[in-house]
């Protein structure tokens, strides 16, 4: 075990090996590996950020085949709270520690250290995670120290429904502005003045056609549908409903049918356009 002041870190994520090697070379004193066991063996704190529940589960299953006693696993993935509870029990049964730390923010915010980190788990372990959150990979923490790790992923799922709602609202507003003759640029001025930040950013992406012109999605349609599904399931279990998630998922299904793997959550605008007799692509094909 390394010094408590300088723990050895591992990060398990998705992407290409070339990008990992380039990043390791750029930061120095690091290396890229392809084997989960190798990454875990050489680290004291293991961060993970994977796309779907099954990937997180299989990664943990591989990790605990090695000695994980005393190691801290920090999961930044957006997964169902029940999955969070399950993997935390698997790790703790093998003598390891677990903290959930899902994050809010687009890839550009991650690169600039502007994420919002939601941290939950035993207080003696969350304090080991905070030095890497606000001020490093994030701009703020939502602190659930001392509470079940699943509290963080529940917060993340509910939080992501706000994004689904925001994108759906913008899509409907811009389609109405176009159909009524107000004009989308005129509505965008209102959005800029009243709702700076994510609302304005998504509005701009829609009007510039970024929702279908980019080579790879910022928030992929499959991941967005996964979150909508988790939200609907959690709401049903609690005896309530999440209508906005259900409506958004219907539009996301249309996005997937139209764009396939390149579909982005902002494509809800294209789906709403198509539903109302306009072309999916607002800039022409």
Residue 90 lies in a domain: yes
* Of 153, 126, 158, 161, residue with least CA distance to 53: 153
Residue with tokens 């429904």: 161
Number of domains within the chain: 2
Q: What is the DSSP string of 79-110?
A: --HHHHHHHHHHHHHTT-EEEE--EES-HHHH
Same domain, 76 and 15: yes
226 is known as an active-site residue: no
Residue 26 lies in a domain: yes
Element (H, E) at 122: none
**pLDDT tens series, the chain, 285 aa:** 444 568 999 999 876 544 666 776 777 777 888 889 999 999 999 999 999 999 999 999 999 999 999 999 999 999 999 999 999 999 999 999 999 999 999 888 888 999 999 999 999 999 999 999 999 999 999 999 999 999 999 999 999 999 999 999 999 999 999 999 999 999 999 999 999 999 999 999 999 999 999 999 999 999 999 999 999 999 999 999 999 999 999 999 999 999 999 999 999 999 999 999 999 999 865
Same domain, 87 and 190: no
Same domain, 88 and 197: no
Q: Where are the alpha helices (DSSP H) in the chain?
A: 17-27, 36-41, 53-63, 81-93, 107-111, 123-129, 150-180, 184-194, 198-207, 210-213, 221-237, 243-259, 268-275
- Options 156, 226, 272, 274, the catalytic residue: 156
Same domain, 168 and 192: yes
The CATH code of the domain that includes 83 is 3.40.50.720
Same domain, 130 and 175: no
Tell which of 80, 113, 147 closes a domain: 147
Same domain, 140 and 198: no
Tell which of 147, 179, 205 closes a domain: 147
Question: What is the extent of the structural domain holding 257?
Answer: 155-275
């Amino acid at each position: 075990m390394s010094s408590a002041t300088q723990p050895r870190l591992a990060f398990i994520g998705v992407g290409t090996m070339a990008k990992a090697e380039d990043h390791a070379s750029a930061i120095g004193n690091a290396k890229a590996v392809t084997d989960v066991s190798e990454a875990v063996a050489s680290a004291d704190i293991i961060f993970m950020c994977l796309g779907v529940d099954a990937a997180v589960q299989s990664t943990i299953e591989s990790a605990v085949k090695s000695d994980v006693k005393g190691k801290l696993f920090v999961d930044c993935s957006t997964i169902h709270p029940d999955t969070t509870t399950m993997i935390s029990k698997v790790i703790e049964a093998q003598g390891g520690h677990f903290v959930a730390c899902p994050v809010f923010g687009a890839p550009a915010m991650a690169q600039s250290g502007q994420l919002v980190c939601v941290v939950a788990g035993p207080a003696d372990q969350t304090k080991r995670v905070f030095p890497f959150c606000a001020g490093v990979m994030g701009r703020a923490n939502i602190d659930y120290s001392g509470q079940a790790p699943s509290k963080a992923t529940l917060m993340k799922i509910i939080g992501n429904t706000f994004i689904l709602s925001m994108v759906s609202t913008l899509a409907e507003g811009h389609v109405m502005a176009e159909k009524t003759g107000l004009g989308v640029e005129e509505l965008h001025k209102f959005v800029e003045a009243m709702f700076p930040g994510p609302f304005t950013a998504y509005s701009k992406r829609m009007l510039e056609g970024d929702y279908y012109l980019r080579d790879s999605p910022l928030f992929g349609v499959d991941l967005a549908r996964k979150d909508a599904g988790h939200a609907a399931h959690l709401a049903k279990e609690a005896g309530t409903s999440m209508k906005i998630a259900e409506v958004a998922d219907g539009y996301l299904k249309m996005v997937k049918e139209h764009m396939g793997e390149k579909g982005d959550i902002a494509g809800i605008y294209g789906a709403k356009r198509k539903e109302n007799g306009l072309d999916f692509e607002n800039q022409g094909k």
